[in-house]
Chains A and B, each alone.
Chain A
Amino acid sequence: MIRSLRLIRHSLLLTLGFTLPGFAKCPISDGATLVVRAAVGDLHVDTTGREPFAEVQVENNAVQIQETCGKGVVEFTSNGPDAVRGTIAWRIVTPKTVNLDLVTMAGSINVGDVDGDVVLRTAGGSVTAGHIKGRAAIITQGGLIKSGNIGGDAELRSQGGTLEVGDIGGNAEFHTTAGVIRAGNIAGSVTADAGRAITIIKAGEVKATTNAGDISIGDAARINAKSGGGNITSRRVRGPFQGHTESGDIRLDSAASWVEASTRAGNIFVRLVPDNLDGDLHMDLQAGVGDVTVYLPQRLRASIDATVQRPAFQSQQIISEFPVVPTRPPQGLIPNNKFYSGTHSESLLNGGGNKIVLHTALGKITIRKN
Chain B
Amino acid sequence: MNLNCKDYQHQITLLLYNELDERTRGELEEHLRECGVCKDALELERTMHSVLAEDTAGWDVPSDLLLESRKALADGLDRIENKRSWWRMPAFSVVFTPMRLLESAALITMGLALGVYVSNQQARVGPSVAANPPDSQGSVIPRNGTISNLQVINADPVTGQVELAGEVSQPLRFHGKMEDDTVRQLLFNALRDASNPGSRLKAVEVLSQKPTDESIEEALINALVYDDDAGVRMRALEGLKTFANEQHVQAAFIHTLQNDENAGIRIGAIEALLARNPKDPDLAQKITEATKRDDNPYIRTKVLQFAGSAK
* Contact in complex: A107, B298 (CB < 8 Å): yes
Binding site for A on B (CB under 8 A): 134, 138, 141-148, 168-169, 195-202, 229-235, 262-268, 296-302, 304-305, 307-309
Residue in contact with B305 in the complex, picked from A85, A161, A230, CB distance below 8 Å: A85
Q: DSSP class of B's interface residues: helix, strand, loop or mixed? A: helix
Chain A residues within 8 Å of chain B by Cβ, number: 49
The secondary-structure label for the interface of chain A is loop
Tell me if A213 and B148 are in contact (CB < 8 A): no
Instruction: State whether A160 and B229 are in contact (beta carbons under 8 Å apart), knowing that A84-B304, A313-B142 are contacts in the complex.
Output: no
Query: Which of A159, A212, A227 is the one whose CB lies under 8 Å from B232?
Result: A212
Task: Decide if A122 is an interface residue (CB 8 Å cutoff).
Answer: yes
Separation in Å of the A248 CB from the closest CB of chain B? 6
Q: Which residues of B contact A161 (CB under 8 A)?
A: 264
Residues in chain A within 8 A of chain B (CB atoms): 40, 82-87, 105-107, 122-125, 141-143, 158-161, 176-179, 194-196, 210-213, 227-230, 245-248, 265, 310-315, 339, 362
Min CB distance, B279 to chain A, in Å? 14
| Residue from B195, B233, B234, B309 with most neighbouring chain A CB atoms (10 Å) | B234
Given contacts A142-B267, A211-B197, A247-B199, contact A160 B298 (CB under 8 A): no
User: B297 to A40, Cβ gap below 8 A?
Assistant: yes
Contact of B138 among A122, A195, A246, A313 (CB under 8 A): A313
5 sampled A-B residue pairs with Cβ under 8 A: A160-B263, A179-B231, A230-B198, A313-B142, A313-B143
* B230 lies within 8 A of A87 (CB): no
Chain A contacts of B233 at CB under 8 A? Answer: 178
* Alpha-carbon separation in the docked complex, A40 to B266 (Å): 18
Nearest chain A residue, comparing its CB with the CB of B301: A106
Q: A123-B297, A142-B266 are in contact. Are A311 and B197 (CB under 8 A)?
A: no
Given A312-B146, A313-B146, decide whether A160 and B264 contact each other with a Cβ distance below 8 A.
yes
Least CB distance from A37 to B in Å reads 13
**Min CB–CB distance B285 → chain A (angstroms):** 15
Are A142 and B265 in contact, CB atoms less than 8 angstroms apart?
yes
Contact at A195–B148, with CB atoms within 8 Å? Answer: no
Q: With a CB–CB cut-off of 8 A, which chain B residues contact A125?
A: 267, 298
Q: Shortest beta-carbon distance, A185 to chain B, in Å?
A: 25
Q: Give every chain B residue within 8 A of A178 (Cβ-Cβ).
A: 230-231, 233-234, 262, 264-265
Pick from B138, B168, B199, B201 the residue with the most CB of A within 10 Å.
B201
Contact B265 A229 (CB under 8 A): no
CB distance from A334 to the nearest CB of B (A): 18
Nearest-neighbour CB distance to chain A for B301, whole angstroms, equals 4
What distance in Å separates the Cβ of B45 from its nearest Cβ neighbour in chain A? 40
Residues in B neighbouring A143, C-beta threshold 8 A: 264, 267
B299 touches A212 (CB 8 A): no
CB distance from B67 to the nearest CB of A (A): 31
B199 engages A229 (CB within 8 Å): yes
Minimum CB–CB distance from A361 to chain B (whole Å) comes to 9
Instruction: Give A190 to B232 CA distance when docked, in angstroms.
Output: 24
